[in-house]
């Protein structure tokens, strides 16, 4: 595993209001708590966030479920994101609203659906000494996961400080202490992540408040693990009103897919394309 350098960041917020939805697709009630998003072979892959069956749902371009994949031996304690590399999907079982979980893990799932072997990458945060808190003050919840080279990168949902702390894990099954490699001063509560390795674009979703009244896309360009640098963070309000956005997928530098959960403010979970 290559050496990782501490990421030092300063915050430059650049609000924009020209963004618009170009597609808005209602999703099945089976995935009303959609909390992660990937794309493979022109199919979307998503999952529910907690308490449901340990399934991945494959959707066509119209958002219709075409396949349900059970992850044998896995448990959905609180699935919060999904990412991939060339061979595997990685499902983040790391939701931790009260900072009280001691069974955090990431499930490693072959992209090949004929292979039903599921491996588990278990981890803890070595800095954590307290295992209970108020939900609005939690620091060891996490809802963002990306893959960079041989590393899995976690973005925490630090509600107390409104930053995201960045941790790395290997992709090999086992038990680990997550390695803290830096933080981003997002001044918001991070709920999803995606990364384009070709352009080095990092995209996050987040809310400015614990209540989650408004959600934003945060763009960080030229993001890597190789050097100390200051990052400019551009923030774009998602024009959908009060609804919970927890997943993002990069199409290009100005176009993204996002999903939102089914809440009182909407009639269903939604899959949306947004243009900045």
Q: What is the pLDDT of residues 262-272, one digit of tens each?
A: 766 677 999 99
Residue 226 lies in a domain: yes
Q: How many domains are contained in the chain?
A: 1
Residue 85 lies in a domain: yes
Residue 253 lies in a domain: yes
Residue 1 lies in a domain: no
| DSSP letters for 153-188 | EEEE-BTTTTBEEEEEEESSSEEEEPEEEEEE--SS
Work out the percent of the chain whose per-residue pLDDT is above 90: 81
Residue 6 lies in a domain: no
Residue 60 lies in a domain: yes
pLDDT for 260 beyond 60: yes
Of the candidate ranges 33-42, 106-115, 118-127, 229-238, the one whose mean pLDDT is the lowest: 229-238
CATH number of the structural domain spanning residue 159 = 2.115.10
pTM of the predicted model, to two decimals?
A: 0.95
Residue 4 lies in a domain: no
Residue 200 lies in a domain: yes
Domain of residue 113, residue span: 13-275
- As a whole number, mean pLDDT of residues 5-29 equals 75
Output helix, strand, coil percentages for the chain, rounded to the nearest 5.
0, 50, 50
Q: Are 61 and 105 in contact (CB under 8 A)?
A: no
Task: Give 43 or 231, the one with higher predicted confidence.
Answer: 43
The residues, any chain, with a CB within 8 Å of residue 196's CB and separated by 6 or more, are: 203, 250
């Amino acid at each position: 595993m290559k050496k990782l350098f501490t990421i030092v960041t300063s915050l430059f917020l650049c609000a924009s209001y020209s963004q618009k939805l170009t597609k808005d697709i209602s999703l099945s009630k089976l995935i009303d708590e959609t909390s992660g998003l990937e794309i493979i072979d022109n199919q979307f892959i998503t999952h529910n966030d907690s308490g449901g069956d340990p399934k991945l749902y494959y959707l066509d371009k119209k958002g219709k479920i075409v396949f349900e994949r059970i992850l044998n031996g896995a448990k959905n304690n609180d699935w919060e994101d999904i990412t991939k590399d060339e061979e595997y999907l990685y499902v983040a079982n790391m939701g931790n609203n009260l900072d009280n979980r001691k069974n955090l893990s990431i499930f490693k799932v072959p992209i090949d659906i004929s292979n039903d072997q599921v491996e588990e990458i278990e981890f803890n945060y070595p800095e954590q000494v307290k295992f209970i808190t108020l939900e609005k003050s939690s620091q060891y919840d996490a809802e963002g996961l990306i893959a960079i080279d041989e590393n899995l990168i976690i973005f925490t949902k630090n509600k107390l400080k409104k930053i995201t702390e960045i941790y790395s894990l290997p992709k090999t099954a086992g038990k680990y202490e997550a390695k803290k490699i830096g933080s981003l001063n997002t001044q918001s509560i991070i709920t999803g992540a995606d990364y384009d390795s070709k352009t080095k674009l990092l995209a996050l979703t987040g809310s400015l408040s614990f209540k989650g009244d408004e959600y934003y896309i945060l763009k960080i360009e030229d993001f890597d693990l190789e050097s100390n640098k200051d990052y400019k963070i551009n923030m774009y309000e998602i024009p959908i009103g009060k609804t919970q956005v927890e997943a993002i997928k990069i199409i290009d530098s100005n176009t993204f897919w996002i999903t939102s959960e089914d809440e009182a403010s909407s009639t269903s979970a939604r899959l949306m394309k947004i243009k900045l």
